[in-house]
Structure 1
Amino acid sequence: MLDLTWKFFSQTGSIDTYLLFKELEKETFEDPYSFEEETAEVDFPLT
């Protein structure tokens, strides 16, 4: 999906496509454990 959005951006120069690319890139390379840690805090709040 990243390749497709990057190719579309490079051909059109669309700012919206670039922003979509960056958002997808961010989600792709996010730490997979960060969500679990946030969920753990909700389930077991530190008091």
Structure 2
Amino acid sequence: MKDFTWKLFSQTGNIDTYLLFKELENDNQDIPDSQDEELAEVDFPIS
């Protein structure tokens, strides 16, 4: 979804599309990038 939004922004220059892209980018930072990170959190839970 993020790639599509960026491509649409780059083609149209629509600021609303860019703001949506940034929002999606920020939301994705909360999600672990890989299963390894998820497993590390299970092995060493943050108290």
TM-score by length of 1: 0.62
Identical aligned residues as a percent:
69
Which segments of structure 1 move beyond 3 Å, counting only runs of 4 or more?
none
**Aligned Cα root-mean-square deviation (Å):** 1.4
Aligned length: 32
> Structure 1 unaligned runs (5+)?
33-47
> Structure 2 unaligned runs (5+)?
33-47
TM-score by length of 2: 0.62
Higher gyration radius (CA) = 1
